[in-house]
Amino acid sequence: MSKIDNNNAPWHCLKRASTPRKATVLAIGKAFPRQLIPQEYLVEGYIRDTKCQDVSIKEKLERLCKTTTVKTRYTVMCKEILDQYPELATEGSSTIRQRLEIANPAVVEMAFEASLACIKEWGRPATDITHIIYVSSSEIRLPGGDLYLASELGLRNDVSRVMLYFLGCYGGATGLRVAKDIAENNPGSRILLTTSETTILGFRPPNKARPYDLVGAALFGDGAAAVIIGTDPVTGKESPFMELSYAVQQFLPGTQSVIDGCLTEEGINFKLGRDLPQKIEDNIEEFCRKLMSKASLTDFNEMFWAVHPGGPAILNRLESTLKLNKGKLECSRKALKDFGNVSSNTIFYVMEYMREELKREGGEEWGLALAFGPGITFEGILLRSL
């Protein structure tokens, strides 16, 4: 039998009151391309599509696919694209024009679908959106996807637009921090934050001189996400589920080369240092405590955790370093399993799973959202569940 309060509402329907003038998450949505790839089929498809004859590369990719813990991913890349652009699978081809012909419209299409889902959940007209923040590391053009997206959604032509380009995996958390600042400094504003990513810019044949290409092939996926942020939710019209209490960005001096991305005529080349998990492990506790101190929190295990799953090694190191109880990173592991690492989007997939988790009886009030990326840059947000 459900617990009933004095207003005869079941306990699982009760909500904490939001803090006046604090930014809240009012709705969330996501979208993916049509092509779904189960991990067990990825190796054969990738080796076939790139015409790779090297057995050792195939064996290495098979090992990587097992260690990533990913089970399914979505991708824009498909047979029709490779039939139209066979040069994408040819080593050394100058293909940046072709990649952008595919990526630019693809990311906006996914962003549009995710935004529509988010606005539908929000329940208010799109014309009530006052600001739009567009995050992507997958398109390059002027004007940017923010303008195309605003036009397709039918937003007002005086909507204030912000583009956040090429931030990588921490881009979604940066978007939340920027949206929080805008919301709290513009009473009554409603910010649509949209992230959209595709791996088209980095797709290429495997090469032993670029070992990280195989990591990318085994780990990354495509998709989009959207959230609406605002303060002082309208009673009866909006349903906030999370409050953005405090946000911090920090970079680690001297680590610029640990995650290195370079745009070339052949697309984006990435290099990932083996010491990335260790760098995060060495600095994460102090960073988390800086955030927690704003609410006088001291116990890691009395909080919920929405961590960007850059890969299983990062989650394992964080869990071990902070001595987190088993299950604390379950939403991050589930997002990684279901979608792979979708760069800036993934933190929102984690948060959506976390929303359902926090509806259970006794769900924690306070938590942390964390994301890591080039720099090495840490983004952290102290969250309060509503």
Identify the three-state secondary structure at position 43: helix
Q: Quick: pLDDT tens for 143-200.
A: 999 999 999 999 999 999 999 999 999 999 999 999 999 999 999 999 999 999 999 9
Catalytic residue among 169, 262, 288, 331: 169
Asked whether residue 331 carries a pLDDT value surpassing 90, the answer given is yes
Residues 97-123: tens digit of each pLDDT: 999 999 999 999 999 999 999 999 999
Task: Please state, rounded to an integer, the average pLDDT across all residues of the chain.
Answer: 93
Residue range 36-95, pLDDT digits in tens:
999 999 999 999 999 999 999 999 999 999 999 999 999 999 999 999 999 999 998 999
Locate the domains of the chain by residue range.
23-231, 242-385
The residue written with tokens 């964080």 in the block is: 318
What are the distances in angstroms from CA 170 to CA 364, 378, 381? 24, 7, 12
Task: Give the pLDDT confidence score for residue 274 in this predicted structure.
Answer: 83
**Looking at domain 242-385, what is its CATH homologous superfamily?**
Thiolase/Chalcone synthase (3.40.47.10)
* Residues 131 and 178: beta-carbon distance below 8 Å: no
Domains 23-231 and 242-385 fall in the same CATH topology: yes
C-alpha angle with apex 276: 275 to 281, nearest 5 degrees?
A: 95
278-296 in b/e form (b: 16+ CB < 10 A) is: ebbbebbeebbeebbeeee
Render pLDDT for 208-245 as a digit per residue (tens, 0 to 9).
888 888 989 999 999 999 999 999 999 999 999 999 99
Residues β-bridged to residue 31: 224
pLDDT at 303: 97
Which of 279, 225, 233, 230 has the alpha carbon at shortest distance from 252?
Answer: 279
CATH architecture of the domain 23-231 equals: 3-Layer(aba) Sandwich (3.40)
At 13 the pLDDT is 53
Tell me whether residue 169 is one of the annotated catalytic residues.
yes
Q: Is the peptide bond before 253 cis (omega within 30 degrees of 0)?
A: no
